Structures are given as structure tokens and as C-alpha cells.
Structure 1
Amino acid sequence: ANAQPLAHSPAPQDRAAEAPRMAAPAPAPLAGGSHTALRQKAIDAAKAANTLDELREAIRAYDGLDVKRTATNLVFADGNPKARVMVIGEAPGADEDRQGLPFVGVSGQLLDKMFECIGLSRKAEEPAKAIYISNILNWRPPGNRTPTEAEIALALPFIERHIALIKPDYIVPMGAVAAKALINMDQSISRLRGKFYTYTPVNAGIGDGLESLANTKMIPTYHPSFLLRTPLQKKKAWQDLLMLQAELGK
């Protein structure tokens, strides 16, 4: 089922009409077999991981994504795994690929400043003040291109298992790729932002054997790299973070 905006979410004037469920990407010949077979292989590998270390190795071992061959490093995560807030971006860039950590370039510096303004940090030891950061795709696409729908579909079981292992209270998808994938609505980030959604994995059963995430909420906002190019939208991103801060304080 589609993620639905929660009934208490504010700013009804910004609320977009409910979007149809995103169509599954058309099967495409990729490395190692058909898209359908590769997706099932990703689901099986993700579900078999019961710790973060096991998940990291499952992602490293999975050969269905061609971007793995051109990337330098696997970019898994950063921050406090016990954090109440999990931030999910699109894919690593050049700086992230070199260092093997998410959001370490200029956009990462802005991300840190944004969350520090509401009292949260990837370096915080206290879960209530911490964030944990990952991406939809763990490998840098060549030339920083946008991940394809087929790549997103193959990466999604791994990030959904990642979410299930972290058990965050709140997820902040940053940018259109992460928001569309996790909310499962084909709308622009400007329409998706500004409201809370219930989190429902696209891959049913991906959290098998782990605690339910029935109470996890998502609030998407603009990606820091977009805000660097379009600073006039920083005010709206700030509004999203203030909504998150208010929820965390309840």
C-alpha cells in the first residue's frame, strides 16, 4: 500500500492529491540475470542479514548492480545506530566514494549544519540528539548521475532492511529519489515535503524476524545539494526540520 500522509499533518494547502502507486520498473537486462531474478536475490540477501555488519557484507557481495564495478568504495552509513532519526539520501558522490562515508562533501557540511540547528548531530552519543545517515544506493553512480529506476528497485531491499535493523522513530528522506522510493509515490519533492507519512516498506516482509516499524514516520525534505544550488528553498527545508523538532519534543 502507498504511504499516506498522517491525519494530523499540517499545511493542508500544500497537500498534493493522492498519487497512484509507482509502477515497478520494467525488467531490464542487468549484470547476472533478469531484473526480476536480481530483485529477488536482493530481497533474499537483505532478509538474511540480522546485524548491520551482516547487511554491509550482503551489500558488498551482491553483484546485481553495475555501479558496484565503477565505484571505489562501498558507502554504508555514518552516525549513531541508536538514533531516533535516520536520514536517507540518494547515492554517494565523489567525496563519499573516496572516503567511504555518506554526506562528507559540501552538501554533507550543509546537512550537518541543518540538523545541528535543531539539536541533532551524527556525532552525538545520546540517541535523542543523534542522527544516523545512509543512502538509497550504496555505490556511487558514474559521473554522479541519478540512479535509474531499475537500480533503485534493486537497492531498495537493502535500505529497507537497514531501516528495519536501525528501528528509527523518524526517517528523513532527502531529495526526490529517496522520497519517491521510500514513500512509493511518483510526485515531486516539492509536493511530497511538508508533511508526515507512515512508513510502509515496498518489499513486504523485508523486516521479518525484527521488530515492527508500524509507528515509524517519514518527513521528506530537499536534498542539501539542491539547496546549495537553490538557496531560496532553504526556508522550506527549515520548516520541515522544525516540524521534525516539534514531533521529537512530544
Structure 2
Amino acid sequence: MPGADRFWSDFAALDWQVELGADESIGDIPVNRYDLPAEKTREIKTAKTAAPVPAPSLLADVDPVVVARAAAQAASDLDGLAAAMAAYEHCELKKGARNFVFCDGNPNARVMIVGEAPGRDEDLQGRPFVGRAGQLLDRMLAAIDMARDHPDTEHAVYITNVLPWRPPQNRTPDKAEIAMLLPFLERHVALADPYVLVLMGNTPCQAVLGRTGITRLRGNWTEAMSKPLLPMFHPAYLLRQPAAKREAWADLLSLKAKLREL
């Protein structure tokens, strides 16, 4: 039946767009808001005039890193830091995200896990690591008797990301985005004050260590932000490369052994 063929063709196209991250229809013509300049002239039409009126430039000549550092340092607790970060206006990712994703787990935990950025599921729910990768992370932690919701702080974990807003189509964050949000992460670590940091994937390694190459970095303890630090594969990578789970298991055992020493 021709009508049935057309239906399934349209359904497949829609499913493909959802996989790319398109989860809302708001117009007939797509607009890439990330390509719009910050000081784009807005055409404001009223009953009296149709002349274009330039939008006021509130963010011109401002160093976003300096603004972030001042806002982060002014926060005296985690609630204040979350509020300051949510109010930060210099990251374009904020304009396209559904939700601000700050943290999950127990802020008094000995282990703080730092990931990259929210994905589609995290953006929808407003919590980090809740999609397929997050479910795998929960199973990994359970294997060493740890969990984000464990009632005992000795076995609990605290989870955050370098970026609190989802990049479009889950692309890798660029260096400018990482740099402007790094002061918030540094303050986050200082306020939570974990015993150990775990960096999952290349983006947090780039942010905290200034290096990438997770296959070389993983499993090697180092120190940053005055904390013992262990780079590990991101669970999303393990979903694509199941053979790497052997190294991930070794890293989990290394983490467990380190916690016994502290």
C-alpha cells in the first residue's frame, strides 16, 4: 500500500532525527541558534515604526573566564554555586539546553566523579549520568559496593560534569566552553572536598589535567586540585568498546584499594 510505505518512510526519518538529538518541533524552518552572533541586531517592529533597533550589548568586552571565576569564588556553599552557575550568561550552550544539570549523589561522599556534559537523557531529567552510560556506571560502582544513593558516605559517590548544559547533538565541548566553566568545577571540588577525584573521559582530563588521550591516562593515579585523581574510560566509551571493560574493572579495583588507604 503506497500510504503505508509513506508512513514508514516518514517514521524512519523522524526516528533518525530523534537519534541526532532533535526532540522538539518549534517551527517550519530550522534555526541554528549557535551560529547567531551575540550582538545580532534585532528588528523590533511596532505600530509606529518598522526600523531595526540594535539590541543592547551587555556582554561585550567581557572576559567570560574572569566573570566565571568571580561568580564561583563568591559562592560559599554548593547551593550558592549551583545558583551562580545557573545564572551564568556567557556560555551559548545554555540557550539550547532544556535543563541545567548540576550534580547527583551524596555531596559528602569520599569519591567525586567528573564527566563531560549532559546527554539527551540528562538534559531531559536534569541529572548527570542517567542514560545508558549512567546505568552502566551504576553497575560498575555496584561491583565495588558503591552507589550514588548509598546511605553510607563511605560507599557513596558524588557526580557532576565539566559542563552543566548539553552541547548540540552531543558534540564534544570546545576549549572555550571548557575554559569558561572550569572555575565553577574548581570551586565545586573545593566545596564538596572529596577524598578522591575520578575523571571519566577526555573532556574532564583536558579541563583538569590539560591533557587528553584517555587510553594512555587511564589507570594512572596523579594529583590535581589538591586531590588524588584517577582517569578512567567514560561508560559511553565502554558501550562502544566492550573489550575495554577489562581495563575499567582494573581501574575500579584500583579505586577501591586507594580508598582503603585513605
Report the TM-score when normalising by structure 2: 0.76
How far is 1:179 from its partner? 1.5
The one-letter code matched in structure 1 to 2:165 is W
Which residue number in structure 2 is paired with residue 71 of structure 1? Answer: 97
Residue 215 of structure 2 is matched in structure 1 by: 190
Q: Distance in 2 between matches of 1:51 and 1:105?
A: 28
Instruction: Count how many residue pairs are aligned between Structure 1 and Structure 2.
Output: 206
Between the aligned partners of 2:60 and 2:85, the Cα distance in structure 1 is 17
Residue pairs, 1:164-183, within 5 angstroms: 164-183=190-209
CA distance in 1, matches of 2:60, 2:65: 10
1:162 to 169, 179, 188: 188
Alignment match of 1:83 (pick from 109, 113, 125): 109
Partner residue of 1:102? 128
1:4 corresponding residue in structure 2: none
Aligned-partner Cα distance in 2 for 1:184–1:218: 14
Match status 1:151 vs 2:162 = no
* Structure 1: segments with no counterpart, 5+ residues: 1-28, 201-213
Q: Secondary structure at the match of 1:73?
A: coil
Whichever residue aligns with residue 134 of structure 1, its letter is T
Distance 1:39 1:115, change over 3 A: same
Per-residue Cα deviation, 1:104-147 (whole angstroms, up to 9, x for no partner)? 00000000001111111000121110000000000001111110
Residues 55-94 of structure 1 show CA distances to partners (whole Å, capped at 9, x for unaligned) of: 1110111001000000000000000000000001000000
**Among 218, 224, 230, the residue aligned to 2:241:** 230
- Distance in 2 separating the partners of 1:176 and 1:128: 27
Superimposed CA distance per residue, residues 16-51 of structure 1 (whole angstroms, 9 cap, x where no aligned partner): xxxxxxxxxxxxx978235x7111000000000111
Q: Distance in 2 between matches of 1:182 and 1:84?
A: 19
**Residue identity in the other structure for 2:216:** R
- Computed over aligned residues only, the root mean square deviation of the Cα atoms, in angstroms, reads 1.4
- 8 A contact 1:86–1:131 mirrored in 2: yes
Structure 1 segment 182-221 matched on structure 2, within 5 A? 182-185=208-211, 187-200=212-225, 214=226, 216-221=227-232
With a CA cutoff of 8 Å and minimum separation of 6, indicate the structure with the bigger relative contact order: 1
Residue identity (%): 48
Counterparts of 1:54 and 1:176, CA distance in 2: 28
Instruction: Please state how far the C-alpha of 1:194 moved relative to its aligned partner.
Output: 1.3
Matched residue, 2:28: none
1: distance between equivalents of 2:142 and 2:60?
A: 44
- Supply the distance in 1 between the matched residues of 2:132 and 2:75 (Cα, whole angstroms): 32
Q: In the TM superposition, what is the alpha-carbon distance from 1:184 to its structure 2 partner?
A: 2.1
